[in-house]
Amino acid sequence: MARSFCWILFALVFLSVPALADGPLVPATFAPERLGSGGYVVFFRHTQWDKTPSQSVLWEMDRASSCESGGALNVQGEGESRGIRQAIERLAIPTGELFVSPTCRTKQMARIIFSTAQAQDNFTIAAALAPPWVKPPSQKDQDTAALNAFLSEALPPGENRFLISHSQVLTAESIGQDIALEQGEAAVFRPVKKNSWPGFEFLGIIHLKDWGNKEDSAF
């Protein structure tokens, strides 16, 4: 009798567990129009660049923030960044704090999208947004804490926080989940309270094509 009860209990528990997905979950698409209300953190991976140098040369270029060929945006990437700027202006998306990786291509993207007549470099350099090959291992805990603060700190009403960075930054080790971004894509987060502590939720990805009109050559 006891054995039969155990089997029934096992079956009920087993059947109540949802089936595992065949592969990794596909993040939802986040419509850029939703940013119009403010309250979001937008994490960009930089737009297109020509990755021509060897890995060791690239590492040295990024450590020096060099804009030599191979460390900077290419013509396509510059056009993609201009398209994003045009969309932000067209949709009247409010901006607020802007933090960027110290590499050349991320600073280029920030200038193209967010510069004003009053300030070309209206951003703050953040070491936590640098690619892994730039950061010393001793800085890992500090960078992880800073990255989580960028995603979880409350925003002033009606503002969005923008981050411009690289692949291999949004990882399970750093934020609790792996988020893969193609060049020019953006992951959108919302700061939330979790058990009275600052936290965040991942809402989805803005794909490069989502920013522009179909006739826009940048997309």
Give the three-state DSSP class for 213.
coil
May I ask the CATH architecture of the domain 31-210?
A: 3-Layer(aba) Sandwich (3.40)
pTM, 2 dp: 0.83
Name the pairing type of β-strands 98-100 and 197-206: unpaired
Burial of 109 (0-12, 13-18, 19+ CB in 10 A): buried
User: Domain residues of the chain, as ranges?
Assistant: 31-210
Q: What is the pLDDT of residues 74-87, one digit of tens each?
A: 999 999 999 999 99
CB 43 within 8 A of CB 15: no
- pLDDT confidence of 93, banded at 50, 70, 90? very high
Q: Which amino acid is at 40?
A: Y
Q: What is the pLDDT of residues 57-67, one digit of tens each?
A: 776 788 778 88
Identify the pLDDT of residue 65.
81
The span from the CA of 42 to the CA of 186, in Å, is: 6
Q: What percent of the chain has pLDDT over 90?
A: 63
